[in-house]
């Protein structure tokens, strides 16, 4: 079934993203309506002045761009009966800003932009939907769901004509929890899209010269071309950028137990999200929630935190961690110098489960991995056909929803792997060879063309068969 994108405004340079506040139209005019202009993005997106952008999901699968003014109703359908029409709203990176949930938000709620004409067509047609797209980050809670329902009500928008596409892979459970507390006659449709796999697949294609792209983003990339069975400089690779709570706990415990010396690690305390960590980790909040509450390990964290404060900053391949993003910063050398990756994912304690590009990076580099992240992350990877490492170590941590149990199990697993000898690791890596090669070959199969076909077909099932996974 063909999918068309509906826009309120189409400029000489193409569609202006839905939800773009017209008070900034003069700013866009200054850049010749090129919303992808890097200077425009630097000037306005990064200041949260503009909180929408062009779709990352639909541009590759759309049949045509159509103006809202051209929509007409024919026998219960907009324009052509056998086609779908999506009024897309794509968050620029912070869904709380897009939905005006941030304090001092500069713009009104995104659903307040929907015109009366579109509302009428939504209520009376069978093939027109609003697609709210937030696929690059995983910070979602029930406030996001609540905001969509409330503002549908405030703006007379039928809730069953909303499709919320998220990169949170338990978005259906969060939605179900909300609806159990606040029952809804007509529900929005929620669906999961795993952006990290196709995005890193595209990057890997470029790095291996399989497909060239004009993107300057990937120029500095270097990717491991083969598996090397030699003795490594360090046991593990432990990359950290923004110091979230679980990363601080892991780094601190490793420092206290003197195992950071066996890892090639990076962090910068100027990017510490919890500067009051030392006092907070055994404070009232943690005691009540029991997120992390084992006295021995809490004390390890407190003592180790003082040690990493003395280190303050440690980098490996890029000196400024503030500038590093998830794409275009691949360095084969750091993988060649280590046996396995300790992946500290974006989310750990949060209700939303999220898999980012961080978990795909070791697959690109033929590296075994342990993931310090959301429960069921390994299960999700295996659902796509990737293989993990239960033949060599215990991966039961992946099924543990209790955060205290999961982080302690992970820590002890990591210690056991760091304690293995070089000879043991060389033997294990040789045994893993087929798994590592399989994973990278599979990643390459999830290229842009194949993913576009999958999501185009799955959108139909999301709408008509209540499918929960777009990809």
Question: Tens digit of pLDDT for each residue in 92-128?
Answer: 878 988 898 877 666 789 999 999 999 999 999 999 9
- The reported pLDDT for the residue numbered 32 is 80
- The reported pLDDT for the residue numbered 47 is 57
271 with 149, same domain: the answer is no
Any idea which of 97-111, 114-128, 405-419, 432-446 has the lowest mean pLDDT? 97-111
Domain membership of residue 317 (yes or no) is yes
- The reported pLDDT for the residue numbered 104 is 64
Contact 326, 246 (CB under 8 A): no
**H-only helix segments in 182-294:** 196-207, 245-256, 277-280, 284-289
Selected residue with higher pLDDT from 160 and 100 = 160
CA atoms in the 13 A half-sphere facing the CB of 36: 6
- The reported pLDDT for the residue numbered 233 is 97
Selected residue with higher pLDDT from 285 and 236 = 236
d(CA 362, CA 394): 19
Selected residue with higher pLDDT from 315 and 325 = 315
- The reported pLDDT for the residue numbered 273 is 81
89 with 211, same domain: the answer is no
Domain stops at, among 168, 193, 218:
193
Domain count, the chain: 2
- The reported pLDDT for the residue numbered 43 is 67
Any idea which of 44-53, 82-91, 447-456 has the lowest mean pLDDT? 44-53
157 with 227, same domain: the answer is no
Domain membership of residue 60 (yes or no) is yes
Helix (H) or strand (E) holding 177, with range, is: helix 171-181
- The reported pLDDT for the residue numbered 39 is 76
Domain membership of residue 462 (yes or no) is no
Mean pLDDT on 441-445 = 97
- pLDDT interval class at 275 (50, 70, 90): confident
d(CA 193, CA 209): 27
Question: Given a cut of 70, is residue 180 above it in pLDDT?
Answer: yes
Selected residue with higher pLDDT from 428 and 24 = 428
The model carries a pTM of 0.92
Question: Given a cut of 70, is residue 285 above it in pLDDT?
Answer: yes
Question: Given a cut of 70, is residue 382 above it in pLDDT?
Answer: yes
Domain membership of residue 469 (yes or no) is no
Any idea which of 7-21, 133-147, 239-253 has the lowest mean pLDDT? 7-21
- The reported pLDDT for the residue numbered 44 is 64
Selected residue with higher pLDDT from 95 and 212 = 95
278 with 319, same domain: the answer is yes
Mean pLDDT on 194-209 = 91
Question: Given a cut of 70, is residue 383 above it in pLDDT?
Answer: yes
pLDDT digits 0-9 by tens, 347-357: 999 999 999 99
Nearest CA to 321 out of 388, 269, 359 is that of 269
- The reported pLDDT for the residue numbered 100 is 86
- For residue 344 the two structure tokens come to 């500290």
11 with 134, same domain: the answer is yes
Which residues, including other chains, have CB under 8 Å from residue 425's CB and lie 6 or more apart?
232, 235, 339, 340
- The reported pLDDT for the residue numbered 213 is 61
d(CA 250, CA 239): 12
Nearest CA to 327 out of 225, 226, 440, 201 is that of 201
| Domain ranges, residue 411 | 197-447
Domain membership of residue 123 (yes or no) is yes
Write out the E strands in 204-286: 236-238, 263-265, 267-268
- pLDDT interval class at 272 (50, 70, 90): confident
Domain membership of residue 468 (yes or no) is no
Mean pLDDT on 360-388 = 97
Mean pLDDT over the full length of the chain: 91
247 with 383, same domain: the answer is yes
- The reported pLDDT for the residue numbered 45 is 59
- Counting residues of the chain whose pLDDT is more than 90, the rounded percentage is 69
- The reported pLDDT for the residue numbered 321 is 83
313 with 182, same domain: the answer is no
For the chain, how big is the Rg over CA atoms in Å? 24
pLDDT digits 0-9 by tens, 14-70: 888 998 877 777 777 787 877 777 777 776 655 556 688 888 899 889 999 999 999
Question: Given a cut of 80, is residue 408 above it in pLDDT?
Answer: yes
- The reported pLDDT for the residue numbered 138 is 87
Question: Given a cut of 90, is residue 274 above it in pLDDT?
Answer: no
Distance (Å) of CA 202 to CA 20, 56, 459: 29, 14, 22
Any idea which of 93-97, 100-104, 154-158, 231-235 has the lowest mean pLDDT? 100-104
150 with 17, same domain: the answer is yes
d(CA 172, CA 327): 28
Domain membership of residue 166 (yes or no) is yes
- The reported pLDDT for the residue numbered 21 is 79
Domain membership of residue 460 (yes or no) is no
364 with 280, same domain: the answer is yes
Give φ, ψ of 142 to 5 degrees. Answer: -70, -20
172 with 219, same domain: the answer is no
- For residue 426 the two structure tokens come to 């060389």
- Counting residues of the chain whose pLDDT is more than 70, the rounded percentage is 96
pLDDT digits 0-9 by tens, 255-268: 999 999 999 999 99
């Amino acid at each position: 079934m063909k999918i068309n994108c509906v826009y309120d405004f189409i400029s000489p340079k193409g569609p202006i993203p839905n939800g773009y506040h017209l008070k900034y139209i003069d700013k866009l005019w200054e850049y010749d309506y090129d919303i992808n202009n890097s200077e425009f993005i630097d000037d306005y997106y990064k200041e949260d002045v503009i909180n929408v952008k062009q779709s990352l999901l639909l541009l590759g699968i759309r049949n045509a761009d159509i103006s809202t003014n051209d929509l007409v109703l024919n026998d219960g359908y907009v324009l052509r009966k056998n086609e779908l029409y999506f009024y897309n709203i794509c968050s620029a990176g912070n869904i709380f800003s897009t939905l005006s949930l941030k304090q001092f938000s500069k713009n009104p709620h995104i659903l307040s932009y929907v015109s009366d004409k579109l509302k009428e067509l939504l209520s009376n047609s069978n093939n027109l939907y609003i697609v709210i797209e937030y696929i690059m980050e995983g910070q979602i809670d029930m406030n996001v769901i609540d905001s969509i329902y409330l503002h549908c009500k405030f703006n007379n928008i039928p809730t069953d004509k909303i499709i919320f596409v998220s990169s949170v892979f338990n978005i259906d459970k969060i939605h179900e929890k909300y609806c159990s507390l606040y029952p809804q006659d007509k529900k929005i449709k929620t669906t999961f899209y795993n952006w990290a796999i196709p995005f890193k697949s595209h990057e890997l294609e470029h790095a291996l010269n399989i497909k060239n792209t004009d993107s300057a983003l990937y120029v500095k990339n270097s990717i491991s071309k083969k598996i090397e069975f030699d003795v490594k400089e360090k046991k593990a690779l432990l990359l950290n950028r923004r110091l979230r709570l679980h990363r601080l706990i892991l780094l601190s415990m490793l420092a206290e137990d003197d195992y950071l010396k066996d890892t090639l690690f990076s962090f910068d305390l100027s990017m510490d999200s919890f500067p009051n960590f030392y006092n907070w980790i055994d404070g009232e909040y943690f005691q009540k929630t029991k997120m992390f509450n084992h006295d021995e390990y809490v004390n390890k964290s407190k003592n180790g935190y003082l040690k990493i404060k003395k280190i303050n900053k440690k980098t490996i391949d890029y000196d400024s961690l503030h500038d590093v993003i998830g794409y275009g910063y691949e360095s084969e050398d750091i993988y060649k110098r280590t046996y396995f990756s300790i992946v500290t994912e974006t989310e750990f304690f949060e209700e939303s489960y999220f898999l980012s590009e961080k978990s795909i990076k070791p697959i690109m580099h033929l590296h075994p991995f342990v993931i310090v992240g959301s429960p069921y992350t390994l299960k999700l990877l295996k659902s796509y056909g990737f293989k993990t490492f239960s033949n060599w170590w215990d991966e039961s941590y992946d099924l543990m929803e209790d955060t205290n149990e999961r982080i302690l199990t992970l820590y002890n697993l990591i210690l056991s792997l760091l304690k293995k000898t070089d000879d043991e690791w060389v033997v294990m890596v040789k045994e893993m060879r087929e798994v590592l090669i399989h994973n990278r070959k599979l990643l390459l199969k999830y290229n842009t063309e194949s993913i576009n076909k999958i999501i185009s077909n799955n959108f139909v099932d999301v709408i008509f068969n209540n499918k929960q996974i777009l990809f």
